[in-house]
Structure 1
Amino acid sequence: MRRGIDPHPVCEADDGRCPTLAVVGETQCAEHLGWPLCPGRVGHTCTARTRTRTGDQCATCQDEARYARLDAELPVTVTDGTCPGHTGPCGRTAMPGDPYCARCRTART
């Protein structure tokens, strides 16, 4: 049996009775380290209930906020099944249930 560092150590808090995995490089889980919960995004609480070291948004909430921003910023134009594009019709076939094609719907960050 190979000995070394356990890649998935359990949190050592509560005398080792915490069932949560420790944060990578730490001996305790995020809750016992005192990390704050993700604040979610405007008008929505974090559904993942994730804790972050800095108190910033978790990756899930960042993605949801980006998609919400895109939905608000991109104009929705009823078309005949072709994509209206961003600055003019691109002519590609729109995705099912979406007025845009996959290329025009891709987020620009």
Structure 2
Amino acid sequence: MGASKTDHFTDRQNQLATLAKAIGHPARIAILDYLIKVDSCICGDIVNELPLAQPTVSQHLRELKNAGLIKGEIEGNAICYCIDEQAWRKFQGILNTLFDEYTPKKQSCC
């Protein structure tokens, strides 16, 4: 079997692409904003905050969880979500590294 397209890129590039894809939808940004504000919540709380149906919110939560940005624990018949602090810091570090690598040139490129 041949190499996948992601095999041609570094781990950092693949991680950054996965995380960027996870936050690449305004509903997911809204969910992260809400989780940051309340520190943790039940899925139903998020549904009440967003103009989206519960299955759609669940799908966005699943994408964020699969990317590792949030985590959830079962509490009774609901799931309580929160920011995964360790993953959050890792993502912040990856983004900072990307931005820190750029140094403006003395000449304009265009």
State TM-score, norm by structure 1: 0.27
Q: Which of the pair has the greater relative contact order for Cα pairs under 8 Å at 6+ separation?
A: 2
TM-score by length of 2: 0.27
- Structure with higher strand content: 2
